[in-house]
């Protein structure tokens, strides 16, 4: 009897144990992502050739307590390696696990390699070569608790790779995970029932299901094994195992498997994979949207099995939430009493199916934490489920849009905030930009469980676009938290989707997807209009200009010369495009890509009107020093004062909620200052009076 370690994906250990028992294997012990068993080489060969759940099968050579390098070296030298492989055979060593004294797996692997090489050198005067990429023998070392274990890898390439899937498609599921999903579904108990996958992709779930029903060995296409160059390999015994497994294949089953996917390229891959796996005749593939391509089975009962889209990117959350909700509604209307089994890493989105799971199993699909969830599909009670969720939020949003739509027309503006955390349970801001929508989730308090916050956000995503008459494709989702320094304007995506919006007599390009901010600060609307009214025939300086929206309004107000200063050339180029959008020649004005503070100190120019809206904090890598608006605002205003013409005005604002103006310092500079925060607060921000503060500053006469 020998001792073997069979590895699998985390979450499949119990299923693997059951599979080994079906191979007449006893003496099984479960571990994390693996199963130990004591048995014969014949049983190990059967696991290699037939297991649907295993990744690797390792034969243990030796094990012993290990406290450090010396113990590991001595353990490796205790193996008679010349009985395992020839000195002309290439080998490699992989290592897993650490201890206090063996903290680096590469170092531990090297210790084992040295021991193996030294053993051959002492016995034969020559050594085998190490070849990590194409090793003919692979040694596995593992530290488990305080013991070191050394193994021969009997498989070589991982067993989850069956050989039929040359092209895995866009979002592949590992074959052994797919097999686990099929096993969990219960369909194998009644394979005469229809099995449908409405998100079939490259067909892995259906192919694994067909192969299991037909009892086709998983490794029938494999030609190379880890044991090929192992001296303990019994080729005749392995051939017996193969022949026994191959002879048990069924061919008289009437299987009805259906795969639907919206992507034609994926379907071609699926069809080819099914043919290569020997099950092409049992699976019918068709192209279509899952929601519009439901297959009619009359009153027959069957199974739906799927690996629906996960939506790993923030911008996908709206799409995924709607997909799961609508898919759940559709299958409840079409397939009552059917069984549904899905695997998804979008655990919170599974709630949108509006079904009660009878079983849930955690499993790891590559790096993703997933859930296999099984449901009995309940009959639909009719209606759109959106109508029954977040009633309080929906009512508030309907009330707000009715009121704010009228106020927006008075400006007029196409961009305004229609909801701003009005209800504590729905902690989001919702902004309208023409025919598009930005939903910003404020970071939830630490005492709110993440799953509850996600559920509430999903309700907003599912209801707000419909209430506001916005297409889902024109909705952007952002997470709004306090930004520090270089985080402020980091790019989120690369869609480059800019579109124009109107504000009073000005037009601006906005981009709702690519950045945290859109290119237009909505809470500065009335301040921009004030600058326009004050700018006629004046020289204007716009510091920290961003996309130059204030500069555009100044130009439309008749300013004679405008200088826009910002550290980012990207945003200044955006500003020039805004000028051109309003038929203003940008070459008539200055755009300076430089630190506003340094430029202000060194410029020889003077101005009639200076607008300053600095960030709360900045530590951009382009700056020599950090900027803190509370600490540095007096020096900033003093430098601006030196560039102000007689009778000129400074408008200073910022969004730091805790900001306190240094009034004593301004008095010492001989300045008169008037707070204009409330006068310049737009209608849609009246609920958050402290969102920004602003002052008009002039020299005392």
Instruction: Say which residue the tokens 């205003």 belong to.
Output: 637
Give pLDDT, residue 686: 92
CATH of domain 175-215+250-383: 3.40.50.150
CB distance 283 to 257 below 8 Å: yes
Give pLDDT, residue 493: 56
Whether residue 347 has pLDDT greater than 90: no
CA distance 538 to 504: 21
Give pLDDT, residue 621: 55
CA distance 388 to 155: 54
What are the tokens at 422? 């009005």
488 falls in which pLDDT band (50, 70, 90)? very low
Instruction: Provide DSSP, 62-104.
Output: EEEE--SHHHHHHHHHTS-GGGTS-TTS-EEEEEE---SS---
Give pLDDT, residue 623: 55
pLDDT, tens digit, for every residue of 130-155?
999 999 999 999 999 889 999 999 99
Nearest of 251, 269, 249 to residue 259 by alpha carbon = 269
Give pLDDT, residue 313: 66
Whether residue 482 has pLDDT greater than 60: no
Domain 2-153 of CATH type 3.30.70.2390: no
CA distance 452 to 446: 12
Give pLDDT, residue 382: 83
Nearest of 440, 565, 571, 586 to residue 509 by alpha carbon = 571
Whether residue 492 has pLDDT greater than 60: no
CA terminus-to-terminus distance, the chain = 101
78 falls in which pLDDT band (50, 70, 90)? very high
Burial class (CB in 10 A: 0-12, 13-18, 19+), 134: exposed
The average pLDDT across 516-532 equals 97
Which residues on neighbouring strands pair with residue 417, listed in sequence order? 431
Longest dimension (CA), the chain: 106
Q: Do 2-153 and 499-699 fold alike per CATH?
A: no
Number of H helices, E strands in the chain: 17, 29
- The architecture (CATH level 2) of 389-481 comes to 2-Layer Sandwich (3.30)
What are the tokens at 297? 């089975």
CB distance 144 to 3 below 8 Å: no
Nearest of 104, 34, 31, 112 to residue 73 by alpha carbon = 112
Cα 644 to its chain centre, rounded Å, is 49
* Backbone φ and ψ of 682, nearest 5°: -65, 160
Give pLDDT, residue 622: 54
Whether residue 430 has pLDDT greater than 90: yes
CA distance 452 to 351: 11
Give pLDDT, residue 626: 87
Lowest-confidence region among 52-61, 205-214, 436-445: 436-445
Three-class secondary structure assignment of 173-184: CCHHHHHHHHHH
Length of the chain measured in residues: 701
User: Considering the entire predicted model, what is its pTM?
Assistant: 0.84
The average pLDDT across 473-492 equals 62
CB distance 213 to 253 below 8 Å: yes
CB distance 136 to 89 below 8 Å: yes
Give pLDDT, residue 554: 98
- Report the phi/psi class of residue 594: left, alpha or beta, with left for phi > 0 and alpha for psi in -120 to 50: beta
What stretch of H or E contains 652? Answer: strand 644-654
Strands, sheet with 54-65, edge to edge from the N-terminal-most edge strand: 28-31, 34-39, 2-8, 54-65, 147-153, 137-144, 91-96
CB distance 627 to 665 below 8 Å: no
Stronger pLDDT, 440 or 382, i.e. the higher one: 440
CA dist list (Å): 304 to 52, 210, 295: 21, 14, 11
pLDDT, tens digit, for every residue of 380-425?
988 899 999 999 999 999 999 999 999 999 999 999 999 999 999 9
Give pLDDT, residue 165: 84
What stretch of H or E contains 475? Answer: strand 475-480
CA distance 213 to 193: 12
Give pLDDT, residue 314: 61
What are the tokens at 335? 């397939």
Please state, rounded to an integer, the average pLDDT across all residues of the chain: 94
Burial class (CB in 10 A: 0-12, 13-18, 19+), 358: exposed
Grouping H, G, I as helix, E, B as strand and the rest as coil, residue 641 is: helix
Instruction: Provide DSSP, 269-333.
Output: HHHHHHHHTT-GGGEEEEE--TTT-PPP-TT---EEEE------SGGGHHHHHHHHHHHHHHHHH
pLDDT, tens digit, for every residue of 210-269?
999 999 999 999 999 999 999 999 999 999 999 999 999 998 899 999 999 999 999 999
Give pLDDT, residue 171: 62
* Backbone φ and ψ of 281, nearest 5°: -75, -15
Give pLDDT, residue 688: 83
Q: Domain 499-699: give its CATH superfamily.
A: Vaccinia Virus protein VP39 (3.40.50.150)
251 CB-near residues (< 8 Å, 6+ apart): 214
Give the angle subtended at the CA of 186 by the CAs of 26 and 297, to the nearest 5°.
160
CA dist list (Å): 405 to 98, 140, 391, 398: 63, 67, 21, 11
Whether residue 490 has pLDDT greater than 60: no
pLDDT, tens digit, for every residue of 442-462?
988 888 888 889 899 999 999
Q: What percent of the chain has pLDDT over 90?
A: 87
Domain ranges of the chain: 2-153, 175-215+250-383, 389-481, 499-699
484 falls in which pLDDT band (50, 70, 90)? very low
315 falls in which pLDDT band (50, 70, 90)? low
312 falls in which pLDDT band (50, 70, 90)? low
486 falls in which pLDDT band (50, 70, 90)? very low
The average pLDDT across 614-625 equals 74
Whether residue 620 has pLDDT greater than 70: no
CA distance 625 to 617: 11
């Amino acid at each position: 009897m020998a001792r073997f370690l069979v590895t699998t994906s985390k979450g499949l250990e119990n299923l693997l144990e059951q599979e080994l028992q079906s191979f007449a294997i006893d003496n099984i012990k479960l571990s994390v992502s693996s199963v130990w068993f004591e048995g014969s080489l014949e049983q190990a060969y059967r696991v290699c050739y037939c297991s649907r759940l295993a990744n690797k099968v390792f034969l243990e050579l030796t094990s012993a307590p290990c406290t450090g390098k010396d113990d590991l070296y001595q353990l490796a030298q205790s193996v008679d390696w010349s009985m395992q492989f020839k000195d002309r055979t290439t080998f490699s060593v992989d290592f897993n696990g650490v201890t206090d004294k063996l903290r680096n797996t590469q170092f531990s692997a090297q210790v084992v390699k040295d021991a193996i090489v030294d053993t051959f050198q002492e016995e034969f005067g020559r050594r085998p070569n190490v070849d990590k990429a194409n090793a003919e023998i692979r040694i596995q070392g593992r530290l488990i608790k305080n013991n070191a274990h050394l193994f021969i890898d009997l498989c070589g390439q991982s067993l989850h790779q069956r050989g039929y899937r040359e092209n895995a498609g866009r979002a592949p599921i590992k074959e052994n995970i797919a097999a686990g999903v099929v096993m969990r579904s219960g369909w194998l108990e009644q394979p005469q029932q229809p099995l449908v996958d409405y998100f079939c992709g490259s067909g892995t779930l259906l192919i694994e299901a067909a192969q299991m029903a037909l009892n086709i060995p998983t490794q029938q296409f494999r030609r190379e094994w880890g044991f090929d160059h192992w001296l303990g390999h019994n080729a005749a015994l392995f051939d017996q195992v193969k022949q026994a497994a191959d002879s048990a294949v069924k061919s008289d089953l009437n299987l009805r498997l259906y795969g639907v996917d919206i992507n034609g390229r994926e379907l071609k891959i699926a069809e080819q994979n099914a043919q290569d796996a020997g099950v092409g005749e049992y699976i019918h593939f068709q192209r279509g949207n899952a929601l519009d391509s439901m297959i009619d089975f009359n009153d027959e009962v069957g199974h739906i099995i799927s690996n629906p889209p996960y939506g790993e990117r923030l911008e996908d959350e709206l799409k995924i939430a709607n997909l799961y909700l609508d898919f759940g509604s559709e299958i409840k209307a079409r397939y009552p009493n059917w069984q549904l089994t899905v695997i998804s890493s979008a655990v919170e989105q599974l709630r949108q199916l509006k079904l009660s799971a009878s079983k849930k199993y955690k499993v790891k699909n590559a790096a993703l934490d997933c859930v296999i969830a099984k449901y009995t599909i309940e009959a639909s009670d009719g209606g759109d489920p959106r109508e029954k969720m977040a009633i309080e939020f929906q009512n508030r949003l309907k009330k707000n849009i009715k009121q704010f739509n009228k106020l927006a027309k008075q400006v007029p503006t196409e961009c305004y905030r229609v909801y701003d955390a009005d209800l504590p349970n729905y902690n989001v801001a919702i902004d309208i930009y023409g025919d598009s929508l930005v939903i910003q989730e404020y970071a939830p308090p630490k005492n709110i469980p993440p799953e509850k916050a996600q559920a509430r956000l999903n309700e907003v995503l599912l209801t707000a676009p419909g209430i506001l008459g916005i297409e889902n494709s024109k909705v952007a989702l952002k997470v709004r938290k306090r930004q520090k320094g270089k985080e402020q304007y980091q790019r989120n995506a690369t869609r480059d989707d800019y579109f124009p919006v109107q504000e009073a007599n000005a037009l601006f390009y906005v981009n709702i997807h690519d950045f945290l901010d859109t290119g237009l600060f909505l809470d500065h609307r009335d301040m921009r209009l004030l600058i326009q009214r004050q700018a006629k025939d004046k020289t204007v300086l716009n510091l920290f200009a961003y996309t130059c929206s204030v500069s555009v309004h100044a130009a439309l107000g008749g300013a004679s010369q405008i200088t826009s200063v910002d550290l980012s050339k990207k945003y200044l180029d955006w500003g020039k495009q805004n000028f051109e959008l309003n038929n203003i020649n940008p070459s008539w004005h200055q755009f300076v890509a430089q630190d506003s503070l340094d430029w202000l100190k060194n410029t020889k120019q003077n101005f009639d009107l200076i607008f300053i809206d600095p960030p709360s904090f900045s530590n951009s890598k382009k700056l020599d020093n950090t900027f803190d608006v509370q600490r540095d605002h007096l020096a900033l205003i003093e430098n601006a004062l030196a560039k102000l013409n007689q009778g000129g005005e400074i408008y200073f604002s910022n969004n730091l909620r805790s900001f306190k103006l240094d009034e004593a310092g301004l008095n010492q500079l001989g300045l008169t200052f008037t707070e204009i925060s409330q006068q310049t607060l737009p209608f849609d921000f009246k609920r958050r009076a402290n969102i920004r503060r602003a002052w008009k500053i002039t020299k005392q006469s």
